[in-house]
Amino acid sequence: MARTRTIHRCESCDATHAQWAGQCSACGEWNTLVEAVDRPKPSGAAYRGPASKAVPLSSVDATEAGARPTWISEFDRVLGGGLVPGSVTLLGGEPGVGKSTLTLQLLGTVAASGRRGLLVSAEESPQQVQLRAGRLGVDRDGVWIVAETAMPAILGAMSEVQPDLLVVDSIQTVFDPEVGSSPGSVTQVRECAHALVLAAKASGVATVLVGHVTKEGALAGPRVLEHVVDTVLSFEGDRHHALRLLRASKHRFGPTGELGLFEMRDEGLIALEDPAALLLGDRRPELAGSCVVPITEGRRTLLVEVQALVAATKAPMPRRSAQGIDTGRLAVLLAVLEKRVGFRFFEQDVYASAVGGVRVNEPAADLGIAMAVASAASGIAIEPEIVACGEIGLGGEVRRVAQMERRLAEAVRLGFSTAVVPLATPDVPGLRLMRVKDVADAVRPYRVRPSDS
């Protein structure tokens, strides 16, 4: 059998090159050459694959694509009920976030329901996995493990065990001996993923591939990796905080708007049906510089505490530091507070943070961040029963944001009685609305004029 050879293909014009170069000689684009496999193309007479027969769409049985629950509630929430037999799911996340813990618990719940799971441990030894399974309390009788990285051995174990769920941890460490490149290369990842997708579709085994991410947070490997799988999940969270977030950026069997929340503990990942206790449990509302904002993550509404600290400095360049909040957005809000309200931050360091490991990126948090900064600058605490929600424009105006009614309804459910909101906000039962037209109105109770100090 003829061996394959590695070439370099341009992602822009699809031209092939014998070796890598910074610029494609065919189209002139830079940094578009990626490794590819040049396989011998069989003639039509040599093809012996099964032929598919065209059938009326009305005769297709859609029940075969029904999801099977995994009994991990937040995981099933994101996938719209569970894993579909024969589907391939790509799970990505930063090192240490808990991907291996989540997949091992997933295998345990599947085994506890009477089904069989197979873990391809391509990075850890079976002894390491056994120790973690004991700590997590995973039912190990129905969980099979094979420590392999070679693609033929993995397919052989899959055929021998015949699992209902296959987990490959991770796809970047698997290699095909027929592909002439090193494990982890673009070519190897793409070819091994294709082979696993074909095996999953042929056998009806639900497959989860664990993937690495780059420094920018994107999935490592070729872009085609995300195209060949059915579902792409991202597992996020600060490794120094307990909160973990599971999102779907692609899902062929349902919507992608759901968000799964977990808390990382010693005994593993615990599903969070109501994250308020984790996000607001240690709040000290009597301190200046604290404000609660309702943000939306997918179809869920979370109430998050944002904190600010303003401290005098003699440095020629005052610091602007943000954690969980976009630094550029913080700089814009400080400029608006200076220009439209009269605050002065040129001799003060400003720090802002979203508590609990949540990233607050949407404009709906602008008003709460501005109020927290104003409260920190004046030393006047914001009333503990207040939430704030609204986008701030460059003119200082407070604008309405999407899904305002749902955000405020969650605030009512958690016991908040007052909301600072834009003028056009409709009434919400059980909540007193303080409507403001601009940021000056919103921060007036927390502003100390130079003549007052």
In the beta sheet, which residues pair with residue 348?
Answer: 312
User: What is the identity of the amino acid at 431?
Assistant: L
Distance CA 329, CA 350 (A): 13
In 3D space, the residue among 211, 204, 268 whose CA is nearest the CA of residue 235 turns out to be 211
- CATH no. of 67-273: 3.40.50.300
5 neighbors 18 (Cβ within 8 angstroms): no
pLDDT digits (tens, 9 = 90+) for 133-172: 999 998 778 899 999 999 999 999 999 999 999 999 989 9
Report residue 247 CA to chain centroid gap: 5
Residues contacting residue 88 through CB under 8 Å, at least 6 positions apart: 196, 197, 200, 207, 208, 209, 228, 229, 230, 231
Asked if the model's pLDDT at residue 65 lies above 90, the reply is: no
User: What is the identity of the amino acid at 177?
Assistant: P
Confidence tier at 3 by pLDDT (50, 70, 90) = low
What is the model's pTM? 0.82
Structure confidence at residue 118 (pLDDT):
97
Confidence tier at 222 by pLDDT (50, 70, 90) = low
- CATH no. of 278-446: 3.30.230.10
In the beta sheet, which residues pair with residue 429?
Answer: none
Beta strands in 220-366 (DSSP E): 231-236, 243-251, 259-265, 268-271, 290-297, 300-312, 320-323, 348-354
Structure-block tokens of residue 249 = 């950026």
Confidence tier at 450 by pLDDT (50, 70, 90) = very low
Confidence tier at 43 by pLDDT (50, 70, 90) = very low
Distance CA 425, CA 297 (A): 21
More confident: 340 or 219: 340
For residue 128, report the phi and psi dihedrals to the nearest 5 degrees: -65, -45
